[in-house]
Amino acid sequence: MKEFELKYGCNPNQKPSKIYMEDGGELPIEVRNGRPGYINFLDAFNGWQLVSELKKATGMAAATSFKHVSPAGAAIGRELSEVEKKIYRVDDLDISFSPLANAYARARGADRMSSFGDFIALSDICDAATATMIKREVSDGIIAPGYEPEALEILKSKKKGAYNIIEIDAGYVPAVQEKKQVFGITFEQGRNELVIDEDFFGNIVTKNQSLPKEAKEDLAISMITLKYTQSNSVCYVKNGGAIGIGAGQQSRIHCTRLAGTKADNWHLRQSPKVLSLPFLEGIPRANQDNAIDLYIGEDDDDILADGVWQTVFSERPERFTKEEKRVWLSTCKGVSLGSDAFFPFSDNIDRAARSGVEYIAEPGGSIRDSEVIEAADQYGMVMAFTGIRLFHH
């Protein structure tokens, strides 16, 4: 296939639209089902690059959940705990949890509201367990290097048979120069072929020099995720998965706050009060996710207002007070945080500390680096300067 005609571009009025190889060669994909659109392919190709790099960096199966050209979640296939299975909404599945299924559960479950209607990328051939997990989620499509026959049939049954399924040639190597047009003007640059490995975090600038292997792996996940996230961006990671991504903000501190709030929500969802919420039978999963977000968020007064809670809960749940949330959040430790550019002020470190961050990777290079390092030292954090910016636009 040399080109693939799209229904339209970013918006229905942007026609005609297609994808093709500029050199006239064959596209490195096969559309196995559905008719992916312009944004679907942007998410698919960015997501495929992300999971491919995660697999190379860690040796483990990887998955990502993309929305509007930024990941909502990304993860590797570390085994899930029973609590994680519950908060990722997969505890009721009668499947054998493969590493790939574990990776997708983490990627999809970290920020379930943002992942609603996602485009999935998998590093490995999609198996039946992963497909079973995907089948019941609201999703636009998937890209993977292949599909087991049973998995393909499961996925084809989604969206009344219209689910977008793309198979990519895992051996495809793109040209070293990449181009795009804006306002009729062509931009050209060398591809970002930066390899993120264990040596990437060798320049530790804090007093605390202890960087465990698992934390180093989590930092790699954060930086590879940022490599394909619209900038400015920061990424919080724990247990092999992104738990908070702040993308596309003009201010670094706003990235840190946004991602930190998502990371806090991830941890709050593991609290006994949230795990025991008495949902009415038959309430759709997406509605449950929305209710949980309201219950633990700033708008918790709304969900417990007279009459509102009765639409989702069988009985009125106890209020989750600010003090209770603060105490629960104080138990979250060992979080890793990556930033795609330097932290210009130490307020980012202060905010990160509130979400249990103990390990940080950022390029360095700010005129206030010494202040940022001092703040990290005050919290006993480990911080590595990578010397490399990871802007993505």
C-alpha span between 143 and 40 (Å, rounded): 10
- Say if CB 37 and CB 211 are below 8 A apart: no
Of 232, 239, 265, 348, catalytic: 232
Which among 2, 160, 333, 393 is annotated as catalytic? Answer: 393
- Name beta bridge partners: 70: 67
Burial level of 21, CB count in 10 A (0-12/13-18/19+)? middle
From the candidates 68, 85, 254, 273, give the one annotated as an active-site residue.
Answer: 68
393 is an active site residue: yes
**Helix segments in the chain, DSSP class H:** 38-58, 82-87, 99-109, 128-135, 149-156, 213-227, 252-268, 272-275, 285-296, 300-303, 322-329, 347-354, 369-378
What's the residue count for the chain?
393
Peptide bond into 232 cis (omega under 30): yes
Residue 86, both tokens: 């519950």
Is 11 a catalytic site residue? no
Q: How far is it, in rounded angstroms, from Cα 77 to Cα 95?
A: 15
DSSP 79-127: PPPHHHHHHTT-TT--S---HHHHHHHHHHHTTTTTTTTEEEEESSPBP
- Is residue 156 part of the annotated active site? The answer reads no
Catalytic residue status for 203? no
User: What string of DSSP letters covers 124-183?
Assistant: SPBPHHHHHHHHTS-EEEEEES-B-HHHHHHHHTGGGGT-EEEEE-TT----SEEEEEET
| Residue 59: DSSP 8-state | S
User: What is the token pair recorded at 59?
Assistant: 């040796």
Alpha-carbon span 109 to 85, nearest angstrom: 9
- Residue 254 has φ and ψ, to the nearest 5°, of -70, -35
Which listed residue (67, 227, 238, 325) is catalytic? 67
Catalytic sites, residue numbers: 67-68, 232, 393
